[in-house]
Amino acid sequence: MRFFNKFILVYILFVSCQSQDDILEIQPLPDRINTENYEEFILIQIEDQQFVFGADRKNQDRKNLGAELVVRSSSVGVLYHSLIFWGGIDNVDFRELQRLGGTIEEFLGEGIYKTGREKESNCDYFDFGVSWYSHYNTEEVGYLKVSFWDGKTLEGNFDIMVHNSLNQSQSKNITGEFKFKIE
């Protein structure tokens, strides 16, 4: 009898789970832009929009995409590296610029670097005349994650909150991935 009761209970749970799935509408994730053909890129997602800043194998317009390590000195004379990266699209016809850039102060290779209030690492986003920054005095914390670093190639992802420079109550969440060659 116990077996029969357990069977009935499992059957009821199974049927109830199936009926709940019929009610819920599961939205598919947006298709990710394919970056396999890019030697270097920044892939950005803002709300439901995706776009890529990239230089393909032919190295087209490399000045609008890149990263470099810069040697800096602390206030007490200790040397350290900062990683600076950028990607952009210029629309010369309309004199508009769309750009994402950032700095990781004290770059140590693979790891997670936080952005936001009182953090030294930061990101900025320029969207057709409006400037957005991650370092305003807000509670939100974002991150830049370097998942691969071999001294020449840098790969990772990010999830940052940026605020409008003219109205800090306006914010955007920007997520994405990157891959750079450091020369």
Whether 71 has a pLDDT exceeding 70, the answer reads: yes
Position with higher pLDDT, 11 vs 106: 106
Find the mean pLDDT for residues 4-30.
42
Q: Residue 4, exposed/middle/buried by CB under 10 A (0-12, 13-18, 19+)?
A: exposed
pTM for the whole thing?
A: 0.72
pLDDT of residue 57: 42
Question: 3-state SS string over 85-150?
Answer: EEEEEEECCCCEEEEEEEEECCCCCCEEEEEECCCCEEEEEEECCEEEECCCCCCCEEEEEEEEEC
Of the segments 63-67, 96-100, 120-124, 159-163, which one has the largest average pLDDT value? 159-163
pLDDT bucket at 60, cuts 50 / 70 / 90: very low
Q: What is the average pLDDT value for the chain, to the nearest integer?
A: 76
**Residues above pLDDT 90, as percent of the chain:** 25
DSSP 8-state code for residue 166: S
Whether 108 has a pLDDT exceeding 80, the answer reads: yes
Distance CA 129, CA 102 (A): 18
pLDDT of residue 55: 64
Structure tokens at 10: 């499992």
User: Taking the mean position of all CA atoms in its chain, how far away is CA 60?
Assistant: 23
Spans of all domains in the chain: 41-181
